[in-house]
């Protein structure tokens, strides 16, 4: 089975770290959203979409890519890193992205979120929040999540 992970990670590469940890477990190609070619999407059986949360949404580049995806019944999973965890903004960002994929016929099999270092705007004054996140435990949880995906796919 071919797995592809597409990420957008423009602040501190927080999401890229999660993407790479999941990629190891899933034996997946891990690509930045602007590197992906239509052929790679077509050939993948499972695609993970990951982004930092920026103003309550996934990165605009990833959103645009999702809007141009082929109409197909492919399986997908979502993940994100954010300054705040499990708040209405994270939920909103995931739901917004899920709606786009579902409209194109895709099936979302699971989702993952963890905290990421954030020193955007006024947070810079206090040196940022979630220092050193994602940390080793976050990466371990991302790997566990990826293992659970492996199981789900085989069911």
Ligand X SMILES: Cc1cc2nc3c(=O)[nH]c(=O)nc-3n(C[C@H](O)[C@H](O)[C@H](O)COP(=O)(O)O)c2cc1C
Residues that bind ligand X (CB under 6 A): 9-16, 52-56, 81-84, 89, 116-118, 120
Least distance (Å) between residue 13 CB and ligand X: 5
Nearer to ligand X, 111 or 118 (CB): 118
Nearer to ligand X, 75 or 145 (CB): 145
Q: Residue of minimal CB distance from ligand X?
A: 116
Least distance (Å) between residue 147 CB and ligand X: 22
Burial (Cβ within 10 Å: 0-12, 13-18, ≥19) of residue 57:
middle
Task: State how far Cα 154 lies from the chain centre.
Answer: 21
Least distance (Å) between residue 151 CB and ligand X: 27
3-state SS assignment for residue 27: coil
Nearer to ligand X, 48 or 116 (CB): 116
Least distance (Å) between residue 60 CB and ligand X: 11
Least distance (Å) between residue 103 CB and ligand X: 23
Nearer to ligand X, 110 or 120 (CB): 120
Nearer to ligand X, 99 or 152 (CB): 99
Sheet of 75-82: strand order equals 29-32, 3-8, 46-52, 75-82, 107-115
Burial (Cβ within 10 Å: 0-12, 13-18, ≥19) of residue 25:
middle
Closest CA to 9 of 43, 1, 22: 22
First to last CA, the chain: 14
């Amino acid at each position: 089975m071919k797995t592809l992970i597409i990420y957008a990670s423009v602040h501190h590469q927080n999401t890229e770290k999660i993407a790479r940890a999941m990629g190891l477990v899933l034996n997946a190609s891990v690509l930045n959203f602007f590197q992906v070619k239509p052929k790679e999407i077509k050939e993948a059986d499972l695609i993970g979409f990951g982004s930092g949360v920026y103003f309550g949404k996934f990165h605009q580049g990833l959103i645009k890519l999702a809007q141009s995806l082929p109409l197909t019944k492919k399986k997908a999973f979502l993940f994100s890193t954010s300054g705040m965890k499990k708040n209405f903004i994270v939920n909103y960002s995931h739901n917004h992205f899920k709606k786009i994929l579902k409209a194109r016929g895709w099936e979302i099999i699971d989702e993952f979120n963890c905290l990421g270092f954030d020193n955007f705007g006024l947070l810079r004054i206090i040196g940022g929040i979630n220092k050193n996140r994602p940390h080793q435990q976050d990466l371990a949880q991302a790997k566990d999540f990826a293992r659970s995906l492996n199981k789900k796919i085989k069911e």
